Amino acid sequence: MLRPSRQHAGYWAFLLHRLSGLALAVFLPAHFLVLGLALERQAALDQFLHWTELAPVKLAETLLVCLLTLHLAGGLRLLALEFLPWTERHKALITAAFGVSLFGGLLFLLNTA
C-alpha cells in the first residue's frame, strides 16, 4: 500500500519527471554517437538510418518523444510551482500536461508511419 503522500498527483508528476530525465540522459550518448557518424563516416550513417526504418525503432522513437514532452511538461510544472501560487487546479493541470505529452508522442508516431 502506498503512503498517502505518494498517492498525490504531484508525487507522480515528480517521479515521471525524474525518470524521464534519467532516460533522456541515457539516450544522450547514443545521440552524440550518431552525430559523430554523420561527421566522420557517411556509409555507417546511411546504414544506421536504414536501421531506423524498422518498426521497433519507430516505437522507441515515439517513446523518446513522449519522454521529451513529458520532461518538458514536468519542467514547466516546476516553474509554475516556483513562480505561481498553488491552487487545487494544479491536479487538473498535471493531468493535462501528461495528456499533452502523450498527444505529442502519438502525433510523432502518426507522422513517421
Q: In this predicted model, what pLDDT tens digit does every residue of 103-113 receive, in sequence order?
A: 887 887 787 65
List the domain range (segments joined by +) for residue 89. 10-26+54-112
Average pLDDT in the chain: 81
| Number of independent structural domains in the chain | 1
Look at residue 2 and tell me if it is in a domain: no
Look at residue 68 and tell me if it is in a domain: yes
Q: Check whether 1 has a pLDDT greater than 60.
A: no
Look at residue 41 and tell me if it is in a domain: no
**What pLDDT was estimated at residue 12?**
81
Look at residue 31 and tell me if it is in a domain: no
Look at residue 40 and tell me if it is in a domain: no
Average pLDDT over residues 75-88: 77
For the chain, the farthest-separated pair of C-alpha atoms sits apart, in whole angstroms, at 55
**DSSP 3-state of 91:** helix
Cα 20 to its chain centre, rounded Å, is 6
Q: With contact defined as beta carbons under 8 Å apart, do 72 and 80 qualify? A: no
**What pLDDT was estimated at residue 36?**
83
Look at residue 98 and tell me if it is in a domain: yes
Look at residue 46 and tell me if it is in a domain: no
Cα 87 to its chain centre, rounded Å, is 26
Look at residue 70 and tell me if it is in a domain: yes
Average pLDDT over residues 59-72: 85
pLDDT in tens, 7-62: 777 788 888 888 888 988 888 888 888 888 788 788 888 888 888 888 888 888 88
The residue assigned the cell 514547466 is 76
Q: Check whether 2 has a pLDDT greater than 70.
A: no
Q: Check whether 5 has a pLDDT greater than 70.
A: no
Grid cell in block for residue 61: 522513437
**What pLDDT was estimated at residue 70?**
83
